[in-house]
Amino acid sequence: MLRISHLVEGDRIIGREEELNNLAQALKDAVHGQTPNHVLIYGKTGTGKSLCSKYITEDLRMSASENDVMVGAAYIDCLQHGTETQAIRAIARSLNDESETGISIPSTGLSTGEYYRRLWNVLDARYDVGIVILDEIDKIDNDNILLQLSRAVEAGKLEDSTLGIIGISNKIRYKDELNERVKSSLGEQDFVFPPYDANQLRAILKSRMDAFQDGVVEEAVIPRVAALAAKEHGDARKAIDILRYAGEIADEEGAETVTDEHVTKAHTREEKNRLAELISKQPPHSKLLLQALAFQIQRAETEEPAIPTSDIYSTYEVLCQQDGTDPLRIRRVRELLSELSFLSIIEQTRKGRGQGKGAHTIHELVDEPELVLEACKSV
């Protein structure tokens, strides 16, 4: 129950009624075998984007089957299947059943075009509607796949079936990066999932308490974990991870109960792991920028240093030189910094320079610079 991949049942999804309704509304045509809207979902980590997408497609699949409409769903993590061929192959494999279709989807040896052809055949053979969930869609290296999938029906690739896409991203500006054709066909409906508040996090944690035996978790633990997870942004993943680590640490120590002290240790363990995971997903230049900011903060003599973009940039240039890579332009650097801020790895504040002198942005790290540098090194 405390594994992140565990799919909770509908009645345990907390605080997402509106989002689930919106998704259901956008996809409802699939229940009658018609083409659903393509949907993009944005939101910070741990706001339930993957959970709600999987839940709603499963719900749709079951409602559709009552109408004798066959809905097939494929969930693809684009971080693991980041090229066009890998992603198409993964979708085709997940929807196929060779014993039923006679179509094989080998792991190598086919051209990208052939993988597409087999995917269309699988869809036509097995389903009325295919729903493809592309998680971390911004990690796909080539827009072509989005164009092909979103226009498969229009382009006459599918004869007896149709296709809908749910794209999920942490990058709020993801759509700006797409070319106009993809943008217009993919982004029919956009939804932003807000962070959870401490009450919702508490309810989410309570609904997972079956993971522990009765009386093992001390009373103060759940509110404390919820408060820790709500502090940066209301991240259910973080909350569940801290609770799991607290249980593991209590177990390692042979303790009878999970206490506040275990939560403190669990929080440190979670921060280290989360940072390393989050940073590992960032482009190389974002890592250099983070290191630059961490070095600047370490070097600063004030208690709570706030570093302007220009200072980060000058250290970043030195790091690029050491790394043998060309620095990006300042404009792109600003974009990467604001992405890091959206992900709650850094904090940005606009500050006035004094009357008539305009404003500039200053930066802080959410975590300790040593932790950030260690995480950058470990990935």
| Helices 284-299, 369-378: inter-axial angle, 10-degree rounding | 150
Task: Between 43 and 187, name the residue whose CB sits nearer to ligand ATP.
Answer: 43
What are the distances in angstroms from CA 258 to CA 241, 252, 292?
14, 11, 39
Task: Between 77 and 368, name the residue whose CB sits nearer to ligand ATP.
Answer: 77
Residues contributing to the site for ligand ATP (CB under 6 A):
4, 8, 12-16, 43, 45-51, 170, 204, 236-237, 240
- What residue is closest to ligand ATP based on CB? 48
Residue 217 CB, nearest approach to ligand ATP (Å): 17
Residue 281 CB, nearest approach to ligand ATP (Å): 9
Query: Pairing between strand 162-169 and 307-308?
Result: unpaired
SS3 122: helix
Task: Between 48 and 305, name the residue whose CB sits nearer to ligand ATP.
Answer: 48
State the binding site: 47-51, 196, 208
Counting DSSP H helices and E strands in the chain, the numbers are 15, 8
CA pair distance 119, 125, nearest whole angstrom: 10
CA pair distance 3, 26, nearest whole angstrom: 29
State the binding site for ATP: 47-51, 196, 208
**For 72, phi and psi rounded to 5 degrees?**
-115, 135
Task: Between 158 and 275, name the residue whose CB sits nearer to ligand ATP.
Answer: 275
Where are the alpha helices (H) located in the chain, listed in sequence order? 17-27, 49-66, 84-95, 98-101, 112-126, 144-150, 180-186, 198-206, 221-232, 236-252, 260-280, 284-299, 309-323, 330-342, 369-378
Residue 231 CB, nearest approach to ligand ATP (Å): 17
Amino acid at 65: S
Task: Between 238 and 262, name the residue whose CB sits nearer to ligand ATP.
Answer: 238
Residue 263 CB, nearest approach to ligand ATP (Å): 18
Residue 152 CB, nearest approach to ligand ATP (Å): 25
